Amino acid sequence: MRTTLRLELNFDKGSILCRGLEPGLTMVEIEAKFKLPHLRWDPRVGAYRAPGSSYREIVEALYHSKIGYEDHVLDLIPCPVPLGLTQYLSLRDYQQEALEEWWAAGKQGVVVLPTGAGKTYVAFGAIARLNKDRIASPAPTFIVVPTLDLVDQWIAELRRFFNTEIGEYTGRIKIPAPITVATYDSAYIHAEHLGNRFKFLVVDEVHHLPAESYRRIAQAFVAPYRLGLTATYEREDELHEILPELLGGKVFELGAKELAGEYLAEYEVRTFKLPLTPQEQKAYTSKARLFSNYLRSRGIRMTSPADFQKLVLRSGSDPRAWEALRAQNEARRIAFNSRAKLEKLEELLEDHQGDRIIIFTRYNDLVYRISRRFLIPAITHKTGKDERQRVLRGFKEGIYRAIVSSQVLDEGVDVPEANVGIILSGTGSPREFIQRLGRILRPSPGKRAILYELVSSETGEVRTASKRKRQRRGRKDAP
């Protein structure tokens, strides 16, 4: 039986304001009495307030509780034409399955697919289906991506498939449209006034979203339909555990192994353990011992990234902690930049003269050393957009057979021609490894990809590589 109570819902700077309830109730009292979630009394405005992301839950609770309400939350971007496809979108079987699982999960959740498997087209299928649905339509869509390169890639593909204006919300232009693509940074900065203008929120490379600032995007948007996309769901800091409350849980996952051969290139991973020179080993051991001795003297154990962050904070007031961190960094540089790695790189470049090669490193100084020694174009975060595009175009056209990069190509850059990857150094995380593997898995007839991992023996790199391999064994995309 419907109650005589009548509420009013409004959007206010990324949150929902609810008026009409008796003032001053606690969250527990509201939940128990009215079955309404997430509402807290805000004496500044004389109303109850909840995160924008709770809009769907609140409306559903009001419906089931038969409480009358006026809804002034949504101020949707106008859709002058239905958001339909201009050409047939043929989804692969696993893409269609991912879409069905997402739909069955209430049109919320995260899809995990390897790089090159077409996560973008799962989102396209979701946009098209929502806008054909009697209840969901129209569903203006806001898409969040980490880089401007990805903004450009998404916009180009969206224009191929959809019969509507495609907007952009970035540092270079801010024009919202029925389908709008934004960077994480711009979405975070403007979430408080964009949050009620879209029904569908798509977050690409969603492993970035749990970061303390970026999670505000999901919290401020009221969009009842949410889709996250990534090749690497887990984070080392375990913050991926909050993704279910931001977008919905993981609804579908496939790894590179399951798609290799038919939808991705066949591949293999080869690891080489290479010795340091006596001089390098002596310097490495000295620096590594200084770090370990400090940890032992303070009773500190490094079991997670959070422990390392605590040590970094401690170094601000403890000179010995600062010296220990500096020693550890120097030890890693010795292992990362060893002479044997460069000699092995030279050998691999000779062995793969007819192949397209991406060389991955951690630090810029090694990128430039390799670039000078082997006359290979370099791409770092300092490389301008025009030069980066020129180098990638030259790589695509076969002018350059190899490129070397320090993490810039790990994510969000399309390099379909590469079939050989060589990792000289990195953070050691499974996520980074999977991203780098994904750079060389774009399929082409007869293609077989090889990823080489060069590790300095008798250093922490060996432990890191072994740990990462054990972690990968438990994943669907384990090589």
Q: How far apart are CA 26 and CA 39, in angstroms?
A: 8
Q: Per-residue pLDDT averaged across 432-451, rounded?
A: 86
For the full predicted model, state whether its pTM sits above 0.85: yes
How do residues 192-251 score in pLDDT, each as one tens digit? Answer: 999 999 999 999 999 999 999 999 999 999 999 999 999 989 888 889 999 999 999 999
Q: How far apart are CA 280 and CA 260, in angstroms?
A: 39
Cα distances from 23 to residues 26, 36, 44, 57, 206, in angstroms, run 9, 14, 12, 21, 38
How do residues 160-184 score in pLDDT, each as one tens digit? Answer: 999 899 999 999 999 999 999 999 9
Q: Which residues of 429-452 are buried (b: 16+ CB within 10 A; e: fewer)?
A: bbbbbbbbbbbbbbbeeebebbbb
**Looking at the structure, do residues 65 and 120 belong to the same domain, yes or no?**
no
Query: Is the previous residue joined to 78 through a cis bond, with omega within 30 degrees of 0?
Result: no
**Looking at the structure, do residues 312 and 323 belong to the same domain, yes or no?**
yes
**Looking at the structure, do residues 48 and 125 belong to the same domain, yes or no?**
no
Three-state DSSP class for residue 382: coil
Please count the structural domains in the chain. Answer: 4
Confirm whether 396 is domain-assigned. Answer: yes
Q: Of 27, 43, 72, which closes a domain?
A: 72
- DSSP class of residue 405 equals E
**C-beta of residue 295 within 8 angstroms of C-beta of residue 318:** no
**Residue-wise DSSP of 60-109:** HHHHHHT-EEEEE---PPP-SS---BSS-----HHHHHHHHHHHHTTSEE
How do residues 28-40 score in pLDDT, each as one tens digit? Answer: 888 888 888 999 9
The whole-number pLDDT of residue 475 equals 52
**Looking at the structure, do residues 125 and 234 belong to the same domain, yes or no?**
yes
Q: Of 293, 311, 336, which closes a domain?
A: 336
**Looking at the structure, do residues 330 and 342 belong to the same domain, yes or no?**
no
Q: Which residue has the higher pLDDT, 421 or 23?
A: 421
Three-state DSSP class for residue 276: coil
**What CATH number is attached to the domain comprising 159?**
3.40.50.300
Whether residue 378 has pLDDT greater than 50: yes
**Looking at the structure, do residues 373 and 306 belong to the same domain, yes or no?**
no
The domain of 44 spans 6-72
**Looking at the structure, do residues 291 and 245 belong to the same domain, yes or no?**
no
The whole-number pLDDT of residue 445 equals 81
**Looking at the structure, do residues 128 and 219 belong to the same domain, yes or no?**
yes
**Looking at the structure, do residues 312 and 388 belong to the same domain, yes or no?**
no
**Looking at the structure, do residues 171 and 244 belong to the same domain, yes or no?**
yes
- Strand order, beta sheet including 68-72: 40-42, 47-51, 15-19, 6-12, 68-72
**What CATH number is attached to the domain comprising 12?**
3.40.1170.30
Strands 179-183 and 166-169: parallel
**C-beta of residue 27 within 8 angstroms of C-beta of residue 39:** yes
- Strand order, beta sheet including 225-230: 174-175, 166-169, 179-183, 141-145, 200-203, 225-230, 108-112, 250-253
How do residues 263-278 score in pLDDT, each as one tens digit? Answer: 888 899 999 999 999 9
* 251: nearest Cα among 218, 229, 232, 223: 229
